[in-house]
Amino acid sequence: MSGQAGTPAGGLSIPSRADDRAEWRAADRAVVAIILVATAVRLAFAGAIGLGIDESYMVAAGRTLGWSYFDHPPLSWWLARGAALAVFSEAPFVVRLPFVVLFAFTTWFVYRLTALLYRPRAGVWAAAALTLAPMLGVTSATWVLPDGPLDFALAGFALASAHAVLGRSARPLGWWLVAGVCAGLAVMSKYSAVLTLAGLPLFLLTSPRHRHWLLRPHPWLALGVALVVALPLIVWILQNGAASLGFQGGRAAVETFRPWGPFAVLAGAAVFLLPWIFAGLALALVGLVRRGRRDPVSWFLLCLALPAIALFSIVALWSDKLPLFHWAAPGYLMLFPALGDLLDRNRDARWLRPTAIATASLVVAGLVVVSLEVRTGVLSRLVPALAREQPGLQAVDWTALRDDLRRRGLLGRPDLVVAAPQWHATGKVDYALGGALPVFCLCADARQYGVVHPAQAYRGSDVLIVLPPGSRRDPLVQYADLFATIEPAGTVDVGPIGGEAARLRLFIGRDYGGAVPEAGAAR
C-alpha cells in the first residue's frame, strides 16, 4: 500500500527477519513506557478531583443494578458499580480505576493496529498522539463515562477485524470471533457504536478483493457472538419499549436549520483533541481519501472512521441539541493509525519532537491547574470574574451536604426523602449522601431516576429539596402546588470558596403530592 521499505504488499507489517523482530521489540518497549507513564498521571488525576455531574449521576443512579439503563447501555454503569462493591467505596479514584485500566489496553490496541497496517514505529507515534489528545487520552481514559469502554471495545474490534480481513492468519476464525466479542462489548457501552461497527460490512461490500468474506460463515458467526454478548441490552430494550433508543434518537430530531452547526461541532472537536492533533488527523484523513479504494488499508480505516464523524456533523445542521464534541470521538479514534503513519514518515522533521514534548507538558500542566482549581479554587481567587462561576465546582463532591444533615440529625431519618430539580443535580446530591437517604428527581426529565426512584413512590412524604448553586428557582412559588407547605431550611456551602456560586439552598416540603413540575419550567 504505502510503498514503505520492508512493508509487505497490502500494507501489513508482519515481522519475519531478525531486524523486523528487533524493531517490534523496541516499539513494544516504547509503547509500554508511554502507557505506564500516562496511567500513573491518570491515576493521580482520578484521585485529585471529585466526580463530574455525569459521573456522579452514573455512580449514584447505578447503585440499583439492571440489565441496562435509561441513558446508555450498561457496561460503564456495571464497571463503576463493580469497582465500588469490590472495595466497599465509591471514592472517585475507585470508581474511575476500571476506566483508567481499560484505556491502557485501548492504547495498546491502537498501537498494534497501526503496527499491523503500517510499521511498528508508526504505532508508537499513534499511541503517543492518542495519549496526548485530551478528549480521548484524558476524559475517556479517566472519567466514569460510556466512552472509555466504548473506545476499548472499538479499538479491539478494529484490531481483530484487521487481522481477520487484511491479515495473513492461517486460521482467521479466531480473529473473527474476537471481533464479534468486541462488537458486542461496544454496543453494550454506547448505542453510537453501531456507526463504527457498520464500517466493517461497508468495507466488505465495497472492496471487491474482500467481498468473498460475506459468502463465508466467519462474519456471520461473529455477528452471532456479538448478539449473545449484547443480549442483556436487547432484553432490556424489549422489556422497556425501547425508551432509551427513543431518548437518544430524539436528540437528532429536526428543529431548525443551522448552517454553522457542522463547523461548530468540528471546531469543538479541534479544541478538545488539541488543534494541532486535529490538524494532523485531518491531513491523515485527506491522505486516506486520496488513496481510497485502491488501497485496502486506507479504505478499511475510512469505512470505520467516517460514519460517526460525518453523521454527527450532518445532524448539527438541524438539531437544536448541538451534538457534543465527543460523540464523534470513535471516528477520530480510527484515524490515529493513519496519523501515526504520517508522523513516522516525518519523524526527522525538526518541529516534531519539540511539539510532542510541549504538548505533553501542556496536558500535564492543564491537569495540575484543573486539580488545583477544584481543590482550592485558586483561579477563582485570582480572577474575580471566575469567582462568580467557580468553573471547578462541577468536579467538587457535595459531601458538605452529608456532613450538614448528619449534624442536624437528618441523615438516615426514615420519614425523610431528598429531591433535586434536575437529573444531574439529583446525581450530585445522591452521590454525596452515599445512599443514606432516598433521593429522587423533582422534574419531568428524571432519566434513570424515573426508573429506580420514581417521584410518585414518595407521595405523602416530607421532602428535603436541595437547589444547586446558580439555581434561579423560587420553591415557595414553583412548588407550592406540590406540597401542603414549604419552608426554608438553610444553606450549605460546597465549593472550595464560599459565596452564592457554591451554595446549596435547602427547603422542606411537607406532604408531597407525587407530581412534578412540567418540562421547561424555570431553573
**Per-residue model confidence (pLDDT) at position 168:** 80
Torsion of CA 21, 23, 24, 26, to 10 degrees: 120
Q: What is the mean pLDDT of the chain?
A: 91
Other residues' Cβ atoms within 10 Å of the Cβ of residue 23 = 18
**Per-residue model confidence (pLDDT) at position 91:** 97
**Per-residue model confidence (pLDDT) at position 245:** 76
Beta strands in 395-479 (DSSP E): 416-420, 439-441, 462-467
What one-letter code names the amino acid at 509? Answer: G
pLDDT band at 51 (very low <50, low <70, confident <90, very high): very high
**Per-residue model confidence (pLDDT) at position 505:** 95
Residues 280-305 have a mean pLDDT of 97
pLDDT band at 456 (very low <50, low <70, confident <90, very high): very high
Q: What is the pLDDT of residues 243-265, one digit of tens each?
A: 777 777 766 665 677 788 888 88
**Per-residue model confidence (pLDDT) at position 15:** 57
Q: What is the pLDDT of residues 347-356, one digit of tens each?
A: 878 889 899 9
Other residues' Cβ atoms within 10 Å of the Cβ of residue 356 = 15
Distance, CA of 231 to chain centre: 22
Torsion of CA 306, 194, 446, 92, to 10 degrees: -80
Q: What is the pLDDT of residues 379-407, one digit of tens each?
A: 888 887 777 778 888 899 999 999 999 99
**From CA 276, how far away is CA 496, in angstroms rounded?**
34
Question: Could you give phi then psi for residue 111, rounded to 5 degrees?
Answer: -60, -50
Q: Three-state SS string across 214-226, please?
A: HHCHHHHHHHHHH
> pTM for this one?
0.93
